[in-house]
Structure 1
């Protein structure tokens, strides 16, 4: 699909197949990929991505006939869809591929939810919170799909509760789009809503904090290559330490991330967060056996 978008011309099937052989690590499978199989896959591509691919006999190749507009950042969604297919790899490839026993749950809802977000149509689903005994039926106006730590979430406006809610796709069941259209909440901007959030929590009545962290040099290299947040800025970078600054909400998600770094990180600011982490470590020491 991306190949067709890039070339902007009719592409013969053999050229597409050669591209698969060059780009995929599953060369044996790609080599056996026939034009008939490709034809069978076209309806799935149209349903999954909103892209209709047709064969143009006059031009002698495949072209994109129509395509829905995908939201910014759609490449991560494509990655998630590809992961679904990757997890179905034949057992013959197991000597070459290892994955965690913990596999993402709920990714089957990405397709209908993405379509509902694009079309601004409400959806219904059963939602089972981890701390509730039974699921509840929810009807929401889907606004945004967000990924965090391998899990996918739906940010939506829930008319019954008159507010924005975040739902984990792994806790959804029986997702069904409905015909009811909706308008975006006043002032809502999808591209800025989570701009200062680490994770999925966004306090409604709180300003972002300037978080300053001191890291050991080795751990600092990890965070330089894979920043904690898009706002991350290096203040000091020496052989002795790395100081970075984040402009984010001081939330539980951020706290859990900092605690996971153990003694490789020190919180220099704000003082309230530094004291909170110190208290957590002190409580853990008291609870630990002698």
Structure 2
């Protein structure tokens, strides 16, 4: 069994036990779940108790999560908190990768997104440069410019948004922070020069109040209150717009959500994509802008 699938199996055990919220599961139920409802069954014809015992120990070592036994009932988690978001995302990526490795006969039943983001070959070099405080140089082609320009920057943070990857970096000569799409980078070179992050920069919180890749430096985040039609609102509930999202009202007529975010181009384009299915209740400036955009799109009466 490939090492990644071995790790995935252990994740599925933790995930399943977390889902039952402290209830003990017999080993036979855990085995059935692994073999019938996950990618584990694609690699193994069976799953033995002795393998489960080894997995239990490795789960402690890898994740710090203890699986305990309850006599005559089964196994349960001593810890009930979910995995950290970064670990959860990693395992989800493993699961998707394994799922897409389907036998050819099953291909007609699955259609993955055909588009793939460009520039992924730069992820590892940029990550190494960010870790080492190493300056990089590349050619950058803006969509609205005819010629590429040289950029010399210190990478600070890699960020994904809408299936594309970006690098937040400090411009070497000015210290200004800028975000670059990896799909527009060409001829990336690591240099011998080093840099230090700007004073007070914290990669873990820089985008905390931002929707997308834009974070204004001359404005503060604010409460944005949105009113969705029920159907579209349920989509927003199942896939939150932002980590700060809170439900204010939920009934048969409407769903109101509050976000604490910057008013940015990315956020405004997201709101436009909902058409008449969303109204902005606050702040007034954002509400007025959305009304004006819809009126302009409708054209003269």
Deviation at 1:90, TM superposition (A): 9.1
RMSD of the alignment, in Å?
3.3
Query: How big is the shift at 1:208?
Result: 0.7
Q: 1:163 to 1:88 in 2, by over 3 A?
A: farther
1:181 Cα shift?
2.2
| 8 A contact 2:137–2:150 mirrored in 1 | yes
Contact persistence 2:8–2:91 (CA under 8 A): no
What SS is found at the alignment partner of 2:200? coil
TM normalised by structure 2 equals 0.68
SS at match of 1:210: strand
Q: What is the rounded CA distance, in whole Å, between the counterparts of 2:266 and 2:8 in structure 1?
A: 38
1:261 paired with 2:261, answer no
Question: In the alignment, which residue of structure 1 is the partner of 2:211?
Answer: 198
What do residues 215-254 of structure 1 show as CA deviations (whole Å, max 9, x unaligned)? 1111111111111000101111122211110110011111
Alignment partner of 1:148 out of 161, 171, 180? 161
Please state if 1:245 is matched with 2:249: no
**Matched residues in 1 for 2:299 and 2:8: separation?**
60
For the pair 1:275 / 2:288, whether they are aligned, the reply is yes
The 1:154–1:227 alpha-carbon spacing in structure 2 relative to 1, beyond 3 Å, is same
Q: Is the 8 A contact 1:123 1:139 kept in 2?
A: yes
Kept after mapping to 1: 8 A contact 2:248/2:256: yes
Which secondary structure state, in structure 1, belongs to the residue aligned with residue 205 of structure 2? helix
Question: Could you list the runs of 5+ residues in structure 1 that have no partner in the other structure?
Answer: 8-20, 32-63, 65-71
Choose the corresponding residue for 1:174, options 157, 164, 187.
Answer: 187
Q: Indicate if the aligned counterparts of 1:80 and 1:107 stay in contact, CA closer than 8 A.
A: no
Match for residue 123 of structure 2?
Answer: 110
**Structure 2 vs 1, CA of residues 26 and 251 (structure 1 numbering), >3 Å: closer, same or farther?**
farther
1: CA distance, partners of 2:261 / 2:183: 26
Mapped pair 1:233 → 2:272: no
Residue deviations 1:155-204, cap 9 Å, x none? 00011343001000000112222232221110100011111100011110
Question: Are the structure 2 counterparts of residues 127 and 90 from structure 1 closer, same or farther at C-alpha, using a change threshold of 3 Å?
Answer: farther
- Contact preservation (8 Å) 2:223, 2:283: yes
Distance 1:180 1:88, change over 3 A: farther
Q: Distance in 2 between matches of 1:137 and 1:78?
A: 37
**Structure 1 residues 286 and 102: CA distance shift in structure 2, 3 A:** same
| 2:39–2:98 Cα contact (<8 Å) kept | no
Q: Is the 8 A contact 1:84 1:107 kept in 2?
A: no
Q: In the comparison of the two structures, how many residue pairs are matched?
A: 236
Cα pair distance change 1:163/1:78, threshold 3 Å: farther
TM-score by length of 1: 0.70
Please show how residues 1-290 of structure 1 align to structure 2 within 5 Å: 24=39, 27=42, 73=86, 76=89, 94-286=107-299
Contact in 1 for aligned 2:39/2:99 (Cα 8 Å): no
Distance 1:117 1:79 in 2: 25
- Distance in 2 of aligned mates of 1:186 and 1:264: 43
Whole-angstrom CA distance in 1 between matches of 2:95 and 2:128: 17
